[in-house]
Structure 1
Amino acid sequence: MKKDFHIHIVDDDASVRESLKALIGGEGYGVSCYASGQNFLDHSNGVSGCVIIDLKLIDMNGLALQRALITQQAEVDVIVVSAYGDIEHAVESMRLGAVDFLEKPFDPEQLLNRLDHLAHAADAAGRLQRDARQRAALIDTLTPREKQVLSGIVEGQANKEVAADLGISARTVETHRVHIMQKLQANSLAHLVRIWLEASARKEPIAEAS
Structure 2
Amino acid sequence: MILRERVKKDFHIHIVDDDASVRESLKALIGGEGYGVSCYASGQNFLDHSNGVSGCVIIDLKLIDMNGLALQRALITQQAEVDVIVVSAYGDIEHAVESMRLGAVDFLEKPFDPEQLLNRLDHLAHAADAAGRLQRDARQRAALIDTLTPREKQVLSGIVEGQANKEVAADLGISARTVETHRVHIMQKLQANSLAHLVRIWLEASARKEPIAEAS
1:136 equivalent among 134, 142, 148? 142
Change beyond 3 A, Cα 1:25–1:202: farther
3-state DSSP class of the match of 1:50?
strand
Question: After superposition, what is the alpha-carbon deviation per residue over 1:155-189, rounded to whole angstroms, capped at 9, x for unaligned?
Answer: 99999999999999999999999999999999999
The range that moved more, 189-198 or 42-51, is: 189-198
Q: How many residues align?
A: 210
Q: Which runs of 5+ in 2 are unaligned?
A: 1-6
Residues 97 and 161 in structure 2, CA contact (< 8 A), matched pair in contact too: no
Question: After superposition, what is the alpha-carbon deviation per residue over 1:65-108, rounded to whole angstroms, capped at 9, x for unaligned?
Answer: 00000111100000000000001100000000000000000000
Residues 96 and 137 in structure 1, CA contact (< 8 A), matched pair in contact too: no
What's 1:122 paired with? 128
Deviation at 1:23, TM superposition (A): 0.1
TM-score by length of 2: 0.61
CA distance in 2, matches of 1:88, 1:155: 8
The range that moved more, 121-130 or 23-32, is: 121-130
Question: After superposition, what is the alpha-carbon deviation per residue over 1:12-71, rounded to whole angstroms, capped at 9, x for unaligned?
Answer: 000000000000000000000000000000000000000000000000000000000011
What's 1:208 paired with? 214
Change beyond 3 A, Cα 1:107–1:68: same
Change beyond 3 A, Cα 1:153–1:86: closer
Residues 70 and 134 in structure 1, CA contact (< 8 A), matched pair in contact too: no
Residues 10 and 53 in structure 1, CA contact (< 8 A), matched pair in contact too: yes
CA distance in 2, matches of 1:156, 1:62: 17
* Root-mean-square deviation (Å): 11.7
3-state DSSP class of the match of 2:86?
strand
Q: Which runs of 5+ in 1 are unaligned?
A: none
Residues 146 and 177 in structure 1, CA contact (< 8 A), matched pair in contact too: yes
CA distance in 1, matches of 2:46, 2:150: 32
Change beyond 3 A, Cα 1:156–1:48: closer
CA distance in 1, matches of 2:163, 2:64: 46
1:170 equivalent among 176, 180, 184? 176
Residues 13 and 35 in structure 1, CA contact (< 8 A), matched pair in contact too: yes
Q: Identity percentage over the alignment?
A: 100
TM-score by length of 1: 0.62
Deviation at 1:122, TM superposition (A): 3.1
